[in-house]
Structure 1
Amino acid sequence: MPSTPAHPPSTDTAAPRTTPDGPSPAPSPPPSPSTPGTAPPPAPAPAAAAAAAAAAAGITTSTPDAVPSPRGAPPPPSVAVPGKRVRAGGSGLPLGDVRREARGVARASVRLDSPTVQHLLNAFVREHGVVAAWEDVMTPTLHAVGRKWQSSGDRYVEVEHLLSWHVSTALRSAPLLRACPEPPPEATPVLLACLPGEQHTLPLEALDAALRERGTATRMLGGAVPAEALTTAVRRTGPCAVVLWSQTRSTADSPLARHLADTRWGVRGARRGPVVLVAGPGWGHRALPGLPRPRELAEALTMLSRTGTSTAHARRSSEH
């Protein structure tokens, strides 16, 4: 979708700086007499002189926007303090006021630095969890890439594709990155699917990862699931809830959502059906009676938690 800045992605334009305890440059010798009418050569800039002195002393310099080293190596001294929000710069993306980790992901994405992008995303998921990673790092960076793409004539689509791939990888790896409880064997799953023709899966992948992080059983069908396949999956899995994602209005299918909500299974006297949640901007702003619509990831998790609790209670009641 988006594009990257006009300057080469791998160029870091930040001025170098030395460590606070670096030696000061040696004083310049007195100027030599010059030929009448000839101006003396200009003195070196303070930043350049300091950098030269540091290099001569064997002191390495770093830039303010350096990203953490790959996994297994200690981060450089200039790594940003986790959790602090800054006005991001240097990536060429319109990030605004974001966490420093989002800036690091943006800069690495613009450079097409896959190892660093994956390392940063995995590290944030491991330390802060899926919801914080999605809301504070992944979503702001994805939106910035989208805005850049729209304003730059479809250039640098490769940046959006690379970032999306690694966001998806981090979300799918969440149960391996964090200690997540296993769902009980008798747990009723949540079924997640994009509607027919809908290919935008990342928000649904975030919900799936957050549910699994909490020990909720899920069945993820992915993008553009045909209507018949959706109906078959509902009947075969008997989910407590179905989440249908629509990114664009053309894929929001209210009749299909109501058909799935009316589906019933089980023995006579104990038949039950799923709660169907409609999610995504494709559904517009109108309310759909009988079809709950979460607006944010946290709200969807709350709704599904209540659905799972009430379903488990109803199942126990029917067994007695």
Structure 2
Amino acid sequence: MASVARRLGVAPSTLRTWDRRYGLGPSRHTDGRHRRYGSSDIGRLELMQRALLRGASTAEAARYALEQMPRSGPPVLREVTGTLTGEPPEEREPDGHEVPSRLARRLSTAALAMDVGAVQRMLVDIIAELGVLPAWTGVLEPVLSALGTRWRGVSAGAEVEYLLAECVFAALIRATPVLDEPRNTRPVLLGCVPEERDSMPMYALAASLAERRVGAQLFGVPLPAEVLAVAVRRSAPAAVVLWAHRRAAADPRLFARVSRGRQRGRLFACGPGWDRAALPGKVELLTDLSTAADRIEHVLVGARR
């Protein structure tokens, strides 16, 4: 059972619940010890996962899976520690990493099951396996976006999005080491424009910079313009990066506010909300987080060591 649970991205206790309540367990028990899953058993569970991702309740998803794949005929069995007969191998990238789409599906399933332990463990594993930014762009952000779209304007079910968001925040913070000796003498200040609702990408960028031993000062909560200007003046950062996801929140005049006085650091606008044509000439646009991490590192400390 543990092997099947890892494959599907849920806790063994979740599989036992689905077996007990909905009859979606293994086809046979052997020697009173092993719970054996066949290809049809796995197929039903995967159908249930797809139905959950489309917004079905657990009971509706289980009923759908059983209707699409009724129990009939002898299953193709395997020990949970072995290889499923006739089943294609788990998708992998050429370097051995799990395909991000599979990781995203597993993470979604764990979140939909409200299995906080499985979500937390999975986030640690995904970030460790892929790295912070590939994990963010390939798995975490797409899953958060999909869940947010599904529950937008709906109170019931939104708890899944909030649960995952809290877990992702914590995982990104854990993935940001405290640097005793950063390569940059002055920090890069990371912040969001006022009224910006989506600050999570700045946590991912801070973690990625820390991986490169580039020190950053992060303001995850969007600051009012006057407070942000004071923070820049007092910190004297080597660079200021302002994130804007929504076009309505991205005001290019903000850069004039933060660059007054003795501020001599580089200025960067990051995110899809910025209009390149409207930015002041001294502000450089960073279109995505990977580009931002590479460019900031290059400007502050040169090529990666």
- TM-score > 0.5 by shorter chain: yes
Q: Which residue of 2 aligns with 1:170?
A: 171
**Cα gap change, 1:181/1:82 in structure 2, threshold over 3 Å: closer, same or farther?**
farther
Displacement of 1:186 in angstroms is 6.3
Displacement of 1:254 in angstroms is 1.1
Q: Which residue of 2 aligns with 1:304?
A: 296
Q: Which residue of 1 aligns with 2:36?
A: 61
Displacement of 1:263 in angstroms is 4.3
**Which gives a bigger RCO, structure 1 or 2 (Cα 8 Å, sep 6+)?**
1
**Cα gap change, 1:61/1:157 in structure 2, threshold over 3 Å: closer, same or farther?**
same
Equivalent residues of 1:211, 1:218 under 8 A apart:
yes
Equivalent residues of 1:261, 1:275 under 8 A apart:
no
Equivalent residues of 1:201, 1:222 under 8 A apart:
yes
TM-score in terms of structure 2 length: 0.67
**Cα gap change, 1:258/1:303 in structure 2, threshold over 3 Å: closer, same or farther?**
farther
For residues 61 and 257 of structure 1, what CA distance do their matches in structure 2 show?
62
CA RMSD, Structure 1 to Structure 2 (Å):
3.5
Equivalent residues of 1:263, 1:274 under 8 A apart:
no
**Cα gap change, 1:110/1:263 in structure 2, threshold over 3 Å: closer, same or farther?**
farther
For residues 223 and 81 of structure 2, what CA distance do their matches in structure 1 show?
45
Q: Which amino acid aligns with 2:110?
A: A
Tell me which of 260, 274, 280 is aligned to 2:271. 280
Displacement of 1:61 in angstroms is 2.9
Q: Which residue of 1 aligns with 2:223?
A: 225
- Give the structure with the larger helix fraction: 2
**Cα gap change, 1:161/1:194 in structure 2, threshold over 3 Å: closer, same or farther?**
same
Q: Which residue of 2 aligns with 1:187?
A: 185
Deviations 1:61-100 (A, max 9, x none): 3464699xxxxxxx96689847459xxxxxxxxxxx9432
For residues 118 and 125 of structure 2, what CA distance do their matches in structure 1 show?
10
Displacement of 1:261 in angstroms is 3.5
**Cα gap change, 1:182/1:134 in structure 2, threshold over 3 Å: closer, same or farther?**
farther
For residues 15 and 227 of structure 1, what CA distance do their matches in structure 2 show?
55
SS of the residue 1:120 aligns to = helix
Deviations 1:260-314 (A, max 9, x none): 245425xxxxxxx12111122322464523221212111001220122037xxxx
For residues 256 and 190 of structure 1, what CA distance do their matches in structure 2 show?
17
For residues 170 and 82 of structure 1, what CA distance do their matches in structure 2 show?
25
Q: Which residue of 2 aligns with 1:105?
A: 107
**Cα gap change, 1:186/1:16 in structure 2, threshold over 3 Å: closer, same or farther?**
closer
Query: Is it true that 1:127 corresponds to 2:129 in the alignment?
Result: yes
**Cα gap change, 1:240/1:78 in structure 2, threshold over 3 Å: closer, same or farther?**
farther
Equivalent residues of 2:191, 2:218 under 8 A apart:
yes
Q: Which residue of 2 aligns with 1:145?
A: 147
Q: Which amino acid aligns with 2:301?
A: T
Unaligned runs of 5+ in 1: 1-9, 18-50, 68-74, 86-96, 266-272, 311-320
Q: Identity of counterpart residues, as a percentage?
A: 30
SS of the residue 1:225 aligns to = coil
Q: Which amino acid aligns with 2:143?
A: T
Q: Which residue of 2 aligns with 1:115?
A: 117
Deviations 1:4-49 (A, max 9, x none): xxxxxx85889555xxxxxxxxxxxxxxxxxxxxxxxxxxxxxxxx
Correspondence 1:227-246 to 2 at 5 A: 227-246=225-244
For residues 282 and 294 of structure 2, what CA distance do their matches in structure 1 show?
17
Correspondence 1:72-111 to 2 at 5 A: 81=90, 83=92, 98-111=100-113
TM-score in terms of structure 1 length: 0.65
Equivalent residues of 1:240, 1:307 under 8 A apart:
no
Q: Which amino acid aligns with 1:278?
A: A
Q: Which amino acid aligns with 1:279?
A: C
SS of the residue 2:284 aligns to = coil
Deviations 1:141-169 (A, max 9, x none): 1121122224x845411111011111111
SS of the residue 2:267 aligns to = strand
For residues 297 and 77 of structure 1, what CA distance do their matches in structure 2 show?
40
Q: Which residue of 2 aligns with 1:4?
A: none
For residues 173 and 290 of structure 1, what CA distance do their matches in structure 2 show?
34
